[in-house]
Structure 1
Amino acid sequence: MTAIRVALAGAGNCAWSFTQFAALAQADPDTRLPGLMCHTVGGYRLADVRVVAAFDVDAAKVGRPLAEAFTAPAIAATAFTELGGDRNAPVLPAPVLDGLTGPLGSVVQAATAARDATPEDVAKALVEHDVDVLVIALPTGASRAVRMFADAALAAGAAVVNCTPEELARDEDVSRRFADAGVVLLGDDLRSHLGATCLHTALIELMLSRGLELTSTYQLNVGGNTDFLNLADAGRSASKFTSKANALRAAGMTDVDGVAGPTGFIGHLGDSKVCFANVRAKSVLGSEVRIDIKLTVEDSPNAAGVIANAVRAAKTAADRGLSGKVDAPSPLLFKSPPRGLPESEARAAFLGFAS
């Protein structure tokens, strides 16, 4: 297979873990890596993915090769392996827009080149680097920046994977524009490989499959990376709560007292995320079943496994002549796709698409 040329909108923690995951695959293409659900998607291996450029606003990253940018102070994700051929991909300036609004502005200094950058610069760079897929991994709440990158990708003819909860694929106008232009759009809000939403929705589906009646549920998440710092601002986290609610409804939760979303920043946790979840239901004779769980994961590698699938799914969809939103792979990859499905159905739909 030919290489899938990927650009990263946001050279942060998730981008760092994803690039390392690709590097491991490139070093030994036939190895089945832990956490890689599908060795091939549409015939593409993870080893076929090449990160050819990234965009950021951080003065510690812009103008540096990718391997150096990932050593910036804002990076909390673990360095598991060295990068291979992607290490020298350039980190290009992106327009700041609303990317640093809120707490992030106190820990990230915008590069001068980013303050001067234009959307036209981004579109031109996507063309110059012959990008197949643009992965948007910007801070939650950066709706203007997310839309700008979507427009730039549309102008350049590059497929989009929207890892953020800002609505693109769910926005009918945006999806229609991508469809009319013949460009693939996957989203919204990346669903971690085995994260809080994945576990929570699986529990809901299990209870409903046994005929239980849900009565209440919650999912509370805390972490220590810049994503959680950003989400500590209620004005920035609103779309995340909406996205998680969409995921629970897709699992079958209706008319139930439920809350799910980020609830705190604890700096010393670093890239670790801790989820506390509770599900209550009525069972036989009105007896109660209650499940309390605590899940601890390293946040960014958990996202990398899904990005690895999403990038290959986007390229496969483009190869097949699809455009706009693509339903089959999306429910497994995203919390808030245009059409959600319970976990088991989402997995079956993805595997059918991937084969």
Structure 2
Amino acid sequence: MQGSKKNIRVAILGIGNCCSSLYQGLHFYKNNTECTGLMKKDIGGYLVENVEVVLAFDVDKRKVGKPLKYAIVEKPNCTPLFLSMEKMEDGPIVKMGTIMDGVCEITNSNTSNFSPDETFILSDEPEIKKEEMVSLLIDNKIDILINYLPVGSQKATEYYAECCIESKTSFLNCIPVFIASDPSWEQKFVDANIPIIGDDMKSQFGASVLSQMIQELAILRGHKVKCHIQRNIGGNTDFLNMTDKSRVQSKKISKENVLTSQDKINNVSSNTFFHAGPSEYIAYYKDNKIANFHVELEGFMGSPVVLDAQLSVYDSPNSAGVVIDAIRYLKVARELGLRGSLRGPSSFTQKSPPVQQTLANSIQECNDLANRKINDTLKPQTQHYIVAQNLNKN
């Protein structure tokens, strides 16, 4: 397919490292014949250059009121610039969002023992009201609202999800607050005829997708997995936020969903020891994440197999490489009249989708959507359905 002349109009919640990498990437690949690092150049006729950031929201005084281009390099952001500033458009002026539970004591500079360069300095601008947010989404013809709020932002995420429902805006939920995977929430989006993708973004070549493939490969090759341990260290605000144990539980659940799902998909009953989650915050690492894997297997005749491995990645570009595709899947789904949580794209791009799939099955559904083909799995989502009775049984 050739690129579309229409733009995909997006709004972004949380102008942190992930937003920085996404915004850089939009300009890096714009009119660039070099596609290394992209999973798909064309999705349903949409190229990367068709994605336009129209609205941006944050609560840090160093970002609110500034053009997006300049906000993405403000502290506490620490991801590298892979593109020079002069090659990026100014972008929209960052507006004040709502705080609610988006900032905890550890990441609030007023209450934290960490430096202001590592934490949020809250803006004293008035927080956005729900009716104002809904109006902005409608008036600016926003197709997709991307949720990059900190892990643990339950109330704030639900607030913005409601704004999407009222404004008929698709929701791309990149954090482990369970919306797309919650039947009651999905039903609200079905009733509003809106497609969504979630929950908790699964990086392009990150710890979760590697653990998924290791687990899937071991099972397919006839091995019993005795234990699968994944430990992560990082130095960005995401890792600092997750040192608050009250906020990290949903992340641990989400990461372990990736591991346990492969057993369920393959009907494997086992007493495997699973552990996956953020382990430590070390500021020195900044946006560089170090993931360590320890997997113990039983192979032929019970012979032991042990895998120890380490992965080093920049966390935020790794996420942007997935989000740039999820945006386009959602836009195509909107045009095809799909509604509710997109099964294949959610499974391919997120840790906690409504239905876990094998990598091959999720890729097939993504490919069909990229070619604007409504397959048998997608067909029920062209009509109104009751979530609890239908798709979640698939």
Which of the five TM-score ranges fits, normalised by the shorter chain?
over 0.9
**Cα offset, 1:117, TM superposition:** 2.3
Assess if the C-alpha contact under 8 Å between 1:136 and 1:162 holds in 2.
yes
The residue type equivalent to 1:36 in the other structure is L
SS of the counterpart of 1:54? strand
Taking the TM superposition and a 5 Å limit, the aligned residue runs for 1:170-209 are 170-209=181-220
Which AA in structure 2 matches 1:108?
Answer: F
What pairs with 1:1-355 in structure 2 (closer than 5 Å)? 1=4, 2-28=6-32, 31-81=33-83, 82=85, 86-106=89-109, 107-113=119-125, 115-252=126-263, 254-355=270-371
- The SS at the match of 2:30 is helix
Number of residue equivalences: 352
Instruction: Give 3-state SS (helix, strand or coil) of 1:337's partner.
Output: coil
Mapped to 1, the partners of 2:139 and 2:15 lie a distance apart of 19
- 8 Å contact from structure 1 (residues 52, 90) kept in 2: no
Contact kept in structure 2, 1:252 and 1:342, CA below 8 Å: no
**What residue in structure 1 maps to residue 388 of structure 2?**
none
Q: Which amino acid aligns with 1:173?
A: S
Structure 2, gaps ≥5 residues long: 110-118, 265-269, 372-394
Aligned to 1:95, what secondary structure does the other structure show? coil
Does the residue aligned with 1:5 lie in a helix, a strand or coil? strand
Structure 1 segments unaligned to the other structure (5+ residues): none
Cα deviation digits, residues 62-99 of structure 1 (max 9, x gap)? 11110111121111111111375742312111111011
Distance 1:175 1:84, change over 3 A: farther
Answer yes or no: is the 8 Å Cα contact 1:212–1:281 preserved in 2. yes
1:132-181 C-alpha deviation (Å, 9 max, x unpaired): 11110110001111111111111111111000010000111111011101
RMSD of aligned Cα (Å): 1.4
Identity among equivalent positions (%) equals 33
Distance 1:244 1:160 in 2: 21
- Maintained 8 Å contact 1:192/1:303: yes
Mapped to 2, the partners of 1:85 and 1:261 lie a distance apart of 34
Q: Secondary structure at the match of 1:310?
A: helix
How far apart are the structure 1 equivalents of 2:127 and 2:364? 46
State the distance in 2 between where 1:118 and 1:255 align: 48
SS of aligned partner of 2:90? helix
CA distance in 1: counterparts of 2:160 and 2:35, whole angstroms: 31
- Most deviating of 57-66 and 74-83: 74-83
Q: Does structure 1 retain, via aligned residues, the 8 Å contact 2:15–2:57? A: yes
Answer whether contact 2:230 2:293 (CA < 8 A) is retained.
Answer: yes
Pairwise CA distance, 1:33: 2.0
Q: C-alpha distance in 2, partners of 1:227/1:102?
A: 14
Report the CA distance shift for 1:92/1:290 in structure 2 as closer, same or farther (over 3 A): same
CA drift of 1:121 comes to 2.1
> How far apart are residue 32 of structure 1 and its match?
4.0
Structure with bigger gyration radius: 2
